[in-house]
Structure 1
Amino acid sequence: MSTPSIRVASSAAKRASSLLRAIQAHPPSCPCHSNPSHHYQSPSLLKSPRRSFATPLDHTRQKEYAFEMAASSIRFGPGCTKEVGMDFKNMGANRVCVVTDSNVSKLDAMKQVVEGLSREGVDFTVFDKVRVEPKDSSIQEAIDFAKPYQPDAFLAVGGGSVIDTAKLMNLYTTFPDAGFLDFVNAPLGKGLPVTKPLKPLVAVPTTAGTGSETTGTAIFDLVSKKAKTGIAHRNLKPTLGICDPLNTRTMPSAVHASSGLDVLCHSLESWTAIPYHERTPRPQNPINRPAYQGANPISDIFSLKALRSTVEFLPRAVKDPEDFEAQSEMLLAATLAGVGFGNAGVHLCHGMSYPISGQNPGYKHNGYVIDTPIIPHGVSVAVTAPAVFKFTGASNPERHLAAAEVFGKDVSNAKKESAGEILSEALAEFLVNLGDQPRGLEALGFSREHIDELVEGTLPQKRVLMLAPNLSLEENEEREQLRGLFEEAMNY
């Protein structure tokens, strides 16, 4: 005789089987459940009465439906540089290519690295000719150095220029037969995906700005095109970022400022980028999903925290070289912003900064020990920020007002239509109070006669422009919008 519980279970099973047969015979009318492809249709396709769900999907017209988070492992703490030799021994590396520049090669960070590798018996060679703000020629020189050595791992010790150069040395030694433009971002290069893992790369940042220790992006000047560009793919990101606050104590005040301005714009641009689900096209294969995907719920957390820390601690770090708490917090902010923008992306400040740096009319920033003219990357992105966020404000007033509140603005009674202007004013005040910053493009030596070339240098930066809110998709209108932004950025 069956027990009551067995009878109940048997009855439930019969009902479930009966319901399943009914569904198979008469599918429900709800398109979400009756058609597995429904969630993959763009709104425009769903409105078409002649659209057949059996027709192959047009991926070029569809918005994204997923985001993907990727970041390097991070170790943070004063003195942790000395562990790097053990890291390479633990991973079984036998031939390490150490990448640095001529200035960092003399600092304690490199001393700690050399001692650590030697102590663990790890064979290594040093390339110390990285160029600050690297060009394609300096990248090629570094690649040519690495290929004959055939390292099984890389170690980058320095700022963003060093880490980015090491990423590209790693890429082109892993793909030794690739042409230089094969992986470079389209349309300046072919934009091919990186189809296999690279060798281990450990990054030891000595500046607090780029966040390159956690991103899959490498930036350089493509001299023939008079524009900055780069390569972006998750496989380029370092295996480990060793963030040791002791390594940033040697930064001059000017470098603290410009590096921190990069953090400022990384966090603001990724916070205000278009949402990931508004980006098109959706990739047919996840390997083609870009590293820069648009703002998403996870990147938002990192970006907003990085913004708050930068507003609080950057003025202190610039003002007092002995304020080690502020320096440490800025290194952490740079890494947090790296996770944020490394997945959400940046937009107009960075897209416009590349021709600003590449077309430098002769400006040399105070405090940089370098013989040639230089517009530091952080300066080139921040100089357009008041104009940019005034322009993007209407796209998402709530986010722009939230950012303005971080700068100390009272937004309790602010009108949404004023959001961009309020954030723009907050940024301008912050930059002025930071001190010794060029107040617009004119201070860098640009005039209105340069605007057309600056616009043409910005247009190819599709990788970041596609994430810019309010920017037109129609090229002639986009060109006019960019021209207006450069005009607005002449002075603030």
Structure 2
Amino acid sequence: MGLGVRVAPTTAARATSLLRAVQYTHPPSCPCHSSPTYQDQSQHGLKHVRRSFATPIDTARRKEYAFEMAASSIRFGPGCTKEVGMDFKNMGAKKVCVVTDVNVAKLDAMKQVVHALSQEGVDFTVYERTMVEPKDSSIREAVEFSKAQLPDAFLAVGGGSVIDTAKLMNLYTNFPENDFLDFVNAPLGRGLPITKPLSPLIAVPTTAGTGSETTGTAIFDLVSKKAKTGIAHRALKPTLGICDPLNTRTMPSAVHASSGLDVLCHSLESWTAIPYTERIPRPTNPINRPAYQGANPISDIFSLQALKSTIKYLPRAVKDPDDTEAQSEMLLAATLAGVGFGNAGVHLCHGMSYPISGQNKGYKHPGYVTASPIIPHGVSVAVTAPSVFRFTGASNPDRHLAAAEAFGVDISRAKKSNAGEVLGEAIAEFLVKLGDQPRGLKALGFERKDVEGLVEGTVPQKRVLMLAPGLSEELEEEREQLGGLFEGAMEY
């Protein structure tokens, strides 16, 4: 034997015998390597043979056996916005559609972008009518603009609403003949896969929350259904996310808080989502493997670090608008969480948040300058978090206790049977200390009579509910569980 290693004759004989048994036995005696019959054409004609494959086949439930990691390229650093003109010139863009909103259009980030594009001689047009918390009508209007302009690249400058709008402008400009609902997540839409690459999209976030600069997800209100939904596919993810901490320094305190709460829940939900190996059904073709796949070893790293950073830096960023370190760390946390949840997915907090926002009874969050009532996304997500994680705790006590420890809880004597309660209490305490947050659905104007409508608005959110640990697969039991969660979220 090579390398000076000697094998006892009896050991070598046993190994040889086992190899021969596996090679010549049909089917192989090792159950993990058995496989179905398939047809093989040889010089002797068509015949049925058996071949061994490494993948065990779960014929009962067809559970997933693989996960994919996809995220945008990220450039992080103060002042890197000025490079965006060179980026588009380097990629040979002829006409760029710059997407922003009326508020960001006045900020330094937009001035930097315009100067960078002009300096490099890149032709561009600007769309600044993006709606905060976009509706399907505002998305359609934006798409009509981009279809008329026919750009070959897109640039989003703003928060998650702007970046998500730009993603959908890019999608429907490249699929001009498709119906709007074709790509919208099922069952509210048809959930068709995106079958070709889209135009380059560079995202320049001006808030530290959504992580949309890293993900293939775009969210909006589908008004006719009174629920938020969206489109999720890897093809939507930006080509490049330019994360410049200088661009988040104009955020008001209320926006810092709401955006940061989105990061908090992105982290918590992706960390506690069902393992990817438990998701069903496994796709029959990899093009149908969803962007939200369940917790996996790589997303775990990003999600847990984002959680720890958010707990440490969000209170500082909210309290002191001049704390540039905290602001920079929160932008980085948002990006880390984006990579985590963009591949693992989110679950109940986000699924329940969509009808909360869509069925707003007139609440307008302090610190937001909008003409119409608004429940910011981060607020609608976080308001149910104490109730949600009390419920999910039993599914994976160790993960819930690890999350509680990130909040500073001493878990050395905590019982696994109490993991959900421990984490739920830690989240509630964090929200209270953060300040100016509605302490439950009652503070948003909801009453117990509204629970049924909120449940009905949550049920269609299958792409996230399928990742929720402990949630029943039986519809009536699922409705009952969701009702209990909304009841538990009325106040904390």
Q: TM-score range by the shorter chain?
A: over 0.9
Q: Is the 8 A contact 1:63 1:278 kept in 2?
A: yes
- Change in Cα spacing, 1:414 to 1:85, as seen in structure 2 (3 Å) is same
Q: Secondary structure at the match of 1:181?
A: helix
Alignment of 1:221-300 (within 5 A): 221-300=221-300
Q: Which amino acid aligns with 2:381?
A: V
Alignment of 1:60-459 (within 5 A): 61-459=61-459
> Corresponding residue for 2:471?
471
- Change in Cα spacing, 1:128 to 1:33, as seen in structure 2 (3 Å) is same
- Change in Cα spacing, 1:95 to 1:482, as seen in structure 2 (3 Å) is same
Q: TM-score, normalised by structure 1?
A: 0.92
- Change in Cα spacing, 1:452 to 1:32, as seen in structure 2 (3 Å) is same
Q: Which amino acid aligns with 2:488?
A: E
Hey, what's the Cα distance between the residues in 1 that align with 2:203 and 2:406? 30
- Change in Cα spacing, 1:174 to 1:403, as seen in structure 2 (3 Å) is same
Q: Is the 8 A contact 1:31 1:38 kept in 2?
A: no
Q: Which amino acid aligns with 1:107?
A: L
- Change in Cα spacing, 1:31 to 1:79, as seen in structure 2 (3 Å) is same
- Change in Cα spacing, 1:16 to 1:268, as seen in structure 2 (3 Å) is closer
Hey, what's the Cα distance between the residues in 2 that align with 1:19 and 1:491? 64
The CA deviation at 1:32 is 1.7
Hey, what's the Cα distance between the residues in 2 that align with 1:377 and 1:262? 7
The CA deviation at 1:30 is 1.4
Q: Which amino acid aligns with 1:390?
A: R
Q: Does 1:39 align with 2:55?
A: yes
- Change in Cα spacing, 1:111 to 1:279, as seen in structure 2 (3 Å) is same
Q: Which amino acid aligns with 2:242?
A: I
Q: Which amino acid aligns with 2:164?
A: D
Aligned-residue sequence identity (percent) comes to 81
Q: Is the 8 A contact 1:65 1:277 kept in 2?
A: yes
Q: Which amino acid aligns with 1:444?
A: L
Q: TM-score, normalised by structure 2?
A: 0.92
> Corresponding residue for 1:26?
25
Q: Is the 8 A contact 2:455 2:483 kept in 1?
A: yes
Hey, what's the Cα distance between the residues in 1 that align with 2:288 and 2:56? 17
The CA deviation at 1:127 is 0.1
Deviations 1:42-68 (A, max 9, x none): 2x74xxxxxxxxxxxxxxx31000000
Q: Which amino acid aligns with 1:195?
A: T
Q: Which runs of 5+ in 2 are unaligned?
A: 1-13, 36-51
Deviations 1:412-469 (A, max 9, x none): 0110010000000000000000000000000000001111000000000000000000
Hey, what's the Cα distance between the residues in 2 that align with 1:252 and 1:215? 25
Q: Secondary structure at the match of 1:39?
A: coil
Q: Is the 8 A contact 2:34 2:53 kept in 1?
A: no
Q: Which amino acid aligns with 1:134?
A: P
Q: CA RMSD in A?
A: 1.8
Deviations 1:284-309 (A, max 9, x none): 00000000000000000000000000
The CA deviation at 1:148 is 1.3
Hey, what's the Cα distance between the residues in 2 that align with 1:297 and 1:263? 19
Q: Secondary structure at the match of 1:228?
A: strand
- Change in Cα spacing, 1:34 to 1:221, as seen in structure 2 (3 Å) is closer
- Change in Cα spacing, 1:302 to 1:21, as seen in structure 2 (3 Å) is closer
The CA deviation at 1:18 is 10
Q: Which amino acid aligns with 1:62?
A: R
Q: Secondary structure at the match of 2:55?
A: helix
- Change in Cα spacing, 1:18 to 1:355, as seen in structure 2 (3 Å) is closer
Q: Which amino acid aligns with 1:208?
A: A
The CA deviation at 1:41 is 2.1
Q: Is the 8 A contact 2:229 2:354 kept in 1?
A: yes
Q: Secondary structure at the match of 1:311?
A: helix
Q: Which runs of 5+ in 1 are unaligned?
A: 1-14, 46-60
The CA deviation at 1:24 is 4.3
Q: Which amino acid aligns with 1:41?
A: I
